[in-house]
Chain A
Amino acid sequence: MGRFHRHADGTEHSHDGPDNTDPSTGDHEHGHEGHEHGREGHEHTGDHSGYATGTERVAVLERIFGENDKTAAANRASLAANGVRAVNLMSSPGAGKTTLLRETLARLKGEARIGIVEGDIETSLDADRLAGFGASVALVNTGNGFGGECHLDAPMVGSALPRLPLADLDLVLIENVGNLVCPAEFDVGEDARAMVYAITEGEEKPLKYPVMFRSCQLVVVNKIDLLPHLDFDMDGFLGNLRAVNPGATVIQASARTGEGVDAWCDWLRAQLAVPR
């Protein structure tokens, strides 16, 4: 099978077999101009059959998320030691997480002491929008020179937790980076996962991003104030959601008008009441 790869100058190709490969070494020539490996002794191994003899195979059987999950367990333990519940809030960009959080802070002020971990690729825009509600906000900028991580992982959340006064909190809401793919893969030490889904995203997304939709206990179907203006088929969406995650709780809401936000706050209250 060919191996697709790109070089530093942006050229890309795949190797379709051993035609230009010396099976004894795996060395091969690239027939196009404009790139060089820039380093002596660099070998690409386009055809692995040359390694069938003379190699040793060692068993590893190690989970790639192992390190992340270890840190997630440490985060969970540190939250539990302080009597704090954590909810990982995920969505596409623009689905309304930050607006929902603002409404949540306004409603739960004086009732629950809330800290926010705010994942934002480069800016403090979202954290700024949450200022003034009495919540502690720890910002995690995920930009790292490659355009930013597309998710929060357990070490990132672990680095943010000490910047929150955990001993004085009841609830930590982790606002993940807007993305329907990567955040689902990373346990950050949360007790529960919730999604904000905007009806402007269409009915089919649960089928396209089943891992994300399966990973959540709750889906807040947001922006329902726009229902009269869209062709959104709520029953179709709910059917798709049930197909991938039959057990998910669904709350229809509009963070803008406030409809359904109390039901979401009740769900958060129920999380706080779950005995450890």
Chain B
Amino acid sequence: MHELSLCGSIADIVSRHAEGRTVTVIHVQVGQLRQVVPDTLAFCWEMVSADTALDGSVIEVETVPARMRCRKCGHSDEVGDLPVFACHDCGGIDAEIIAGEEFMVTSLDLAAEPAGETGT
């Protein structure tokens, strides 16, 4: 749903770091608590990157599971598939999220650039 505007932000970041070189793969880390659908992100990326210097590059998503730490007993654990933020150990409900909210461009793969093969 909001993947289209996110792709605009990704394009800005990638362009800045690519410095004119040909990007093949954009590695993106997406936390489980981010509501980003990888397929939709890939589809929107095709639209946003089309006919730009980034045309032909693809986004590869690394999903990061959500983890929480109980403020009461200190137990830390994966949240799991159900969005229940109670401690799996003591049942305490005051837990902090320690992973799963990531949403960042981690790295870019740049094409080797023999002369004359730098895209269009």
A residues apposed to B, CB below 8 Å: 3-6, 26, 39-45, 48, 51, 54-68, 146, 149-151, 153, 179, 181-182, 184-186, 206-207, 210-211, 214, 242-247
Contacts and interface: CB of A to CB of B under 8 A. Distances in A.
B43 A67 contact: no
B2 A182 contact: yes
Interface in B30-79: 33-35, 39, 42-43, 46, 51, 55-58, 60
Contacts of A5: 42-43, 46
Contacts of B43: 4-6
B60 A48 contact: yes
A245 B85 CA distance: 7
Contacts of B33: 210-211
Interface in B64-120: 82-86, 93-94, 103-112, 119-120
A146 B56 CA distance: 22
B5 A45 contact: no
Given A55-B110, A185-B2, A67 B9 contact: yes
Given A4-B39, A54-B112, A210-B33, 10 more contacts: A40-B120, A45-B56, A51-B109, A54-B111, A56-B109, A61-B106, A62-B105, A149-B2, A211-B33, A243-B83
Given A4-B42, A246-B85, A45 B1 contact: no
Interface in B1-36: 1-2, 4-6, 9-10, 12-14, 17, 24-25, 28, 33-35
B83 A45 contact: no
Given A41-B119, A244-B85, A64 B110 contact: no
A55 B24 contact: yes
Nearest to A43: B56
A48 B25 CA distance: 8
A14 to B, nearest CB: 9
A3 B42 contact: yes
B12 to A, nearest CB: 7
B35 A51 contact: no
The 7 closest A-B pairs by CB, nearest first: A210-B83, A54-B112, A246-B93, A182-B2, A41-B120, A243-B84, A60-B105
